[in-house]
Structure 1
């Protein structure tokens, strides 16, 4: 697979008449998003499903230096011999912009793990979107331009990627083999990319679905079916061991500051505030592994608040929402979620009370980080009772509160 990745790096700096398709994940750049981008780009190139034989390159929507914050991603990539120097990062965005300016009809995007061009790539908003594979709320875009448009509610976007491409890719590899007229490849004769791709895909599926455990209400029938189909190609006997290794890497936050954790798995949106024709609100969502009590004990309440303020100011936010989660084990309360709300400007006045009053999910106030200044400025921290709801579900709820007047909002959102 590295041969494929290396072949794409030179083309953006060359004069070329060939179309280039950039496969990009979302701006949180978590394991699911990054693996979806890398494997989708490979499959699109291998299968040539877009027509016209374009050059396909993966794009990771964070600065390259920030990859060091993602220990689970580093573990998966390194254990599958993927050279990150062969992948485009946000540092390379100026190259894309320059190429698009010179060749406006020769650059297009393929979105994975999101279905609307992120604000960090707003400079390419005019570029044609040729494909979408995602598992978030459907924004109803790109229906006229996307040759592949698949948006389904599943546990992991990589499940959709595998279901869309893997069977065709392995069948093509088998048809090219022709060894003694055999149609099925044994493990010895499979090309190396099959093991690389399936191990990366299944690793992401396992993390997103907590090892396919239905108790966490993340896994869907498609995730289960894909995992069952993928496993024989990986060379693994079962999923338990590899899940444990990846999850251990993901949960190890010992080398990351609280500030780093706020920016590690982060998304932001700008929406129009209801009641105003021209007022916009910028909202950031950080997802953090570990509950807030852990970081209060490690770093202190003052550091927690200082870094929240600094990150909010750095991103020029009106509202920062921090979602925390951890599995404390069967005898310590199991899987838990918390939410911290940090309103910064008057533009989000009233939001905290509305959010707290939601019937679903139910929130219970916790005071682990309460200070006079934090609560006076509207800050709140909560335990979230319905742990099945992640950022994927909470952001649409928050957006509705911000953009629609109360008279248009349904009681349970």
Structure 2
């Protein structure tokens, strides 16, 4: 027996299939392409929900954005979501389109499930639509994954129209009223504001929607979720929380070692990238009395400066472009089978340099900072070997932000 299935986004038919007795679902790649197409034909009074990760646009943020969009849409179709119902759900990659291809691990995983960069929707795409008033800002709503505080320019576009948050960073305590207004879904499991420690945000996304949907996950959804989980936990060997283990078993990978090695290769390879590209590849920024930016880089500072003689100038130019007064570069790498971290802090003003010196004296012992000299960089920035290798950017950034706020009183 054959049946006709029509898939909708809003009022628009986006996919038609004839199927037998077995239920089929739209592929993730088709969902991504069709959601962007549906956005282009959104009614003037329509509502668009953009699911966005943080501005580092790393593998976890990008995969979680697409996963959350697809599963949110699936929950609307299955009527398991009873809260805010947008006319279209679009995964939003939170970097300019031109900066996407330097994230080779993300590009690789997307290609594995048939998603090309041409079919994705980027931050500058949204800026253009809202600036030209093709898409009114008041029609734009957001669901945050892998962060819980909107940053420029998205904060000006979405304001407080936040439908949900799934995140594993420090809770900023924001958008609670907004989520109460838009995000009630009748679930006894979680409201869509779930901020909990985990190795990977993708674990929270999978657990939340799997419990709400109550349906088996497709193989491509499992693949998309498994990639960031393996990378963020070093193939389930580090920073694994109970929710990560639970989701890993749910994904039931037959073979994860080769997938981890492949993604790690693409993530850590910096060959062919300029100094500026290296800084862009995994970057986050905060306002805390002084604007702070931190780039995370999977190579040693000595290696980077050996490859890029004017790396300090690249940092200075990038800081000026982004209006950042304190710019940090955090590295992580292995040397003789020993995991290591470096930290460079560059102040663009005398005030910022003074704050950096105070921070090192106050919190240097917690991070176990040991001054080192790297030719071409130490003349312009404070450079350290970070002996506390357990402290990643997720721990260092809050320390620095809180210190700057304390010193500046802002």
Same fold? TM cut 0.5: yes
* 1:66-123, Cα deviation, whole Å (9 max, x unpaired): 1110010011001111133222102212355259786565321101111011123232
Does the 8 A contact of 1:57 with 1:87 survive in 2?
A: no
Instruction: Specify the alignment match of 1:207 in structure 2.
Output: 231
1:122 paired to 2:155: yes
Q: SS state of the match for residue 150, structure 2?
A: coil
Does the 8 A contact of 2:285 with 2:292 survive in 1?
A: yes
In structure 2, list runs of 5 or more residues that go unmatched: 1-27, 184-191
Does the 8 A contact of 1:13 with 1:95 survive in 2?
A: no
* 1:356-401, Cα deviation, whole Å (9 max, x unpaired): 2213111111112366842xxxx21111111111111111100111
Kindly state the Cα deviation for residue 208 of structure 1 after the two structures are TM-superposed. 0.6
Instruction: Specify the alignment match of 1:251 in structure 2.
Output: 268
Kindly state the Cα deviation for residue 353 of structure 1 after the two structures are TM-superposed. 2.1
1:363 paired to 2:369: yes
Q: Whole-Å Cα distance in 2 between the matches of residues 32 and 372 of structure 1?
A: 32
In structure 1, list runs of 5 or more residues that go unmatched: 174-192, 273-280, 409-413
Instruction: Specify the alignment match of 2:17 in structure 1.
Output: none
Instruction: Specify the alignment match of 2:36 in structure 1.
Output: 9
Q: Whole-Å Cα distance in 1 between the matches of residues 377 and 96 of structure 2?
A: 34
Of the candidates 326, 332, 337, which is equivalent to residue 319 of structure 1? Answer: 326
**Cα pair distance change 1:94/1:295, threshold 3 Å:** closer
Does the 8 A contact of 1:12 with 1:95 survive in 2?
A: no
Q: Whole-Å Cα distance in 1 between the matches of residues 232 and 135 of structure 2?
A: 40
1:390 paired to 2:407: no
Kindly state the Cα deviation for residue 127 of structure 1 after the two structures are TM-superposed. 4.6
Instruction: Specify the alignment match of 2:304 in structure 1.
Output: 295
Does the 8 A contact of 1:107 with 1:127 survive in 2?
A: no
1:228 paired to 2:249: yes
**More displaced 10-residue stretch of structure 1: 81-90 or 247-256:** 81-90
Does the 8 A contact of 1:154 with 1:220 survive in 2?
A: yes
**Cα pair distance change 1:305/1:106, threshold 3 Å:** closer
Kindly state the Cα deviation for residue 19 of structure 1 after the two structures are TM-superposed. 2.1
Does the 8 A contact of 1:97 with 1:123 survive in 2?
A: no
**Cα pair distance change 1:113/1:141, threshold 3 Å:** same
Q: What TM-score, normalized to structure 1? A: 0.82
Instruction: Specify the alignment match of 1:45 in structure 2.
Output: 73
Q: What TM-score, normalized to structure 2? A: 0.83
Does the 8 A contact of 1:110 with 1:132 survive in 2?
A: yes
Instruction: Specify the alignment match of 1:186 in structure 2.
Output: none
Q: SS state of the match for residue 251, structure 2?
A: helix
Q: Whole-Å Cα distance in 2 between the matches of residues 372 and 67 of structure 1?
A: 30
Does the 8 A contact of 2:145 with 2:201 survive in 1?
A: yes
The number of residues matched between the two structures is 363
* 1:137-183, Cα deviation, whole Å (9 max, x unpaired): 101011112121010111111111111113544x446xxxxxxxxxx
1:266 paired to 2:287: no
Does the 8 A contact of 2:332 with 2:339 survive in 1?
A: yes
Q: Whole-Å Cα distance in 2 between the matches of residues 15 and 341 of structure 1?
A: 45
Kindly state the Cα deviation for residue 313 of structure 1 after the two structures are TM-superposed. 1.9
Q: Whole-Å Cα distance in 2 between the matches of residues 228 and 81 of structure 1?
A: 25
Kindly state the Cα deviation for residue 349 of structure 1 after the two structures are TM-superposed. 4.2
Kindly state the Cα deviation for residue 222 of structure 1 after the two structures are TM-superposed. 1.4
Instruction: Specify the alignment match of 2:358 in structure 1.
Output: 354
RMSD of aligned C-alpha atoms? Answer: 2.2
Instruction: Specify the alignment match of 2:53 in structure 1.
Output: 25
Q: Whole-Å Cα distance in 2 between the matches of residues 372 and 128 of structure 1?
A: 44
Q: Whole-Å Cα distance in 2 between the matches of residues 226 and 265 of structure 1?
A: 25
Q: Whole-Å Cα distance in 2 between the matches of residues 53 and 304 of structure 1?
A: 45
Of the candidates 120, 145, 153, which is equivalent to residue 87 of structure 1? Answer: 120
Q: SS state of the match for residue 388, structure 2?
A: coil
Instruction: Specify the alignment match of 1:282 in structure 2.
Output: 291
**Cα pair distance change 1:381/1:87, threshold 3 Å:** same
Q: SS state of the match for residue 174, structure 2?
A: coil
Of the candidates 254, 276, 291, which is equivalent to residue 237 of structure 1? Answer: 254
